[in-house]
Amino acid sequence: MRCLLTLSSILIFISCQVKSQHIQFQKITDIPTPAGFERVNPEAHSFASFLQHLKTNNSRDNVLLYNKLPKVNQKAHYAILDIDVGNKDLQQCADAVIRLRAEYLWKENKINNIHFNFTSGDTALYTIFRDGFRPEIHGNNVSWKLKTAKDTSYLTFKKYLETVFMYAGTLSLDKELEKVNNPQHMQIGDLFIQTGNPIGHAIIIVDMAINHQTGEKIFMLAQSYMPAQDIHILKNPSSTSASPWYKLNPEAELITPEWTFSYNHLKRFKD
């Protein structure tokens, strides 16, 4: 019995140590780089810098869905980002990318740059939504009607995003982006996006590091998925020791826990 109690105590101690190691990551830049690698240092107030300094959620270990139920697959994530998912099944993969881009533009007061396309091809301008106009959808026809008073609050900004989430997706987002022809020029804020019938997927690069002696580059990825769920940092299923970092290798497929991409799927938001 004494040996069992001792072993139990050891396991509890190890469990607490693992837990404390998880909690120490307050933001993405707290996640250490592998030996020999140095984080890139993006320009202040850039989209890259915004992503790199996103906060993590250390209140729990499980990725939750919009309905507060745990995601079935709890083996895909390395860390959870401190960004709400809402209470509707809307903020899925492409929507999470849109959310991060919009939050950056909102934070930097680049209000006129907040716009995304619906799948119909129609552009949804935040400034129009803020001024009280709401879309009326009839098939593929979209018209904007004045429905309420102007409101510049963050709550209305969130309502705008919910509207975009309802009528946008990987197909519409893909058309808004520009192709990154040379993957060696990858930047934080670029994304891998694949459209499909009926579904596709999108993940975004939230951090990068480089080995200045070898020139090797590595990067970190974040995603939401279906159903709508916490945005989370992805583990690297191909390299436990390097996880959550991925090696930049354009000659190979990019294998993530829940999707596989090629580097032909690498795209970037237009300035």
Say if residues 223 and 192 touch (Cβ distance below 8 Å).
no
Mean pLDDT by 10 residues, the chain (271 residues): 37 37 76 97 98 95 97 97 97 98 98 96 97 93 96 98 97 97 97 88 98 97 98 96 96 97 97 81
- For 101, half-sphere exposure in the C-beta direction (CA atoms, 13 angstrom radius) is 27
Say if residues 234 and 97 touch (Cβ distance below 8 Å).
no
Going from the C-alpha of 216 to that of each of 14, 108, 181, 248, the distances in angstroms are: 34, 32, 19, 7
* Nearest partner of 46 among 164, 190, 212, 175, judged by Cα: 190
Say what the pLDDT of residue 198 is. 72
Taking the C-alpha atoms of residue 30 and residue 173, their distance in angstroms, rounded to an integer, is: 30
3-state DSSP call for residue 5? helix
Say if residues 116 and 124 touch (Cβ distance below 8 Å).
yes
* Nearest partner of 26 among 48, 57, 47, 59, judged by Cα: 57
Say if residues 126 and 115 touch (Cβ distance below 8 Å).
yes
How buried is 16 (Cβ within 10 angstroms: 0-12 exposed, 13-18 middle, 19+ buried)?
A: exposed
Say what the pLDDT of residue 24 is. 66
Q: Beta partners for 65?
A: 229
Helix (H) or strand (E) segment spanning residue 223: strand 217-223
Say what the pLDDT of residue 12 is. 36
User: Beta-carbon neighbour count of residue 234 at 10 Å?
Assistant: 22
> Phi, psi at residue 208, to the nearest 5°?
-145, 155
Q: Is 0.75 topped by the overall pTM?
A: yes
Taking the C-alpha atoms of residue 57 and residue 155, their distance in angstroms, rounded to an integer, is: 22
Say what the pLDDT of residue 7 is. 39
Say what the pLDDT of residue 271 is. 81
